[in-house]
Copies of this chain bind each other. A is one copy, B any other.
């Protein structure tokens, strides 16, 4: 334990940023594997998962060590506990990307049901939310974190739109039901990713301001229906 405390905090931040980059890649690749019907990209997401899980364990380990040995106060304490929570949300986003590719691997064996527009857009939005939430974390930028929270509505809206559209397909032609169900699952994983990105942004707000905003602004449930 001879290293300066600041250096250890910097290591923790770096690990979290590597983890976030890997998670962002998984979000993008999971939906590209579906849109471009590429099994190789799906396999890459499955391989990424191990890496993401290892990053999660690393962040937890660094955090527990710092809590035990450095006995940090106030701002540093909030930084460490926030980083641990953020890692846990990132890990879940990685799991959701795995869920998407599991659907993708099935869906690409049948002819496409429809051109995909909203689902790639949802992936783009979710990825942007993760990216900006982490920027907000690094820069301690409360305003950016709040902006991320607000973007959750756009993803929810797209998810509802996808749901209604696919329900119409299913009602019109029962042969579309299995594929439509697959796409519905994909859409919901993306909605849940945006929800986890929102959790991260809420953790950043807490870290920066000391104010807990979860359970405050949101009348709607934080766990999306899926």
What does the 1/0 interface line of A44-82 toward B look like (CB < 8 Å)? 000001000110110010001001100101100110010
Residues of B within 8 A of A222 (CB): 92, 95
Judge whether A109 is part of the interface by a CB distance below 8 angstroms: no
State whether the Cβ of A102 lies closer than 8 Å to any Cβ in chain B. Answer: yes
Interface: A185 (CB within 8 A): yes
The answer to whether A73 touches B68, judged by C-beta atoms less than 8 angstroms apart, is yes
Interface residue stretch chosen among A125-133, A150-158, A174-182:
A174-182
Q: Once bound together, how far apart are the Cα atoms of A84 and B85, in whole Å? A: 10
Binary flags per residue of A183-222, CB closer than 8 Å to B gives 1, else 0: 0010011001000000000000000000010110000011
Decide: A178 and B174 in contact? CB cutoff 8 A: no
Q: Does A110 contact B (CB under 8 A)?
A: no
In contact, A67 and B95 (Cβ under 8 angstroms) = no
Give the contacting residue for A64; candidates B57, B81, B171; CB below 8 A: B81
With both chains docked as a complex, state the minimum distance between the C-beta of A172 and any C-beta of chain B, in angstroms: 8
The residue on B at minimum CB distance from A53 is B215
- Decide: A223 near B167, CB < 8 A? Known: A57-B215, A77-B68, A174-B174: no
With A71-B71, A223-B92, A226-B226 known as contacts, the answer to whether A171 contacts B177 (CB < 8 A) is yes
28 interchain pairs (CB within 8 A)?
A53-B214, A53-B215, A64-B78, A64-B81, A67-B67, A67-B81, A68-B73, A68-B74, A68-B77, A71-B71, A81-B84, A85-B88, A95-B222, A95-B223, A96-B223, A98-B223, A99-B221, A99-B223, A102-B221, A102-B225, A167-B177, A167-B178, A170-B174, A170-B177, A174-B174, A185-B226, A188-B226, A192-B223
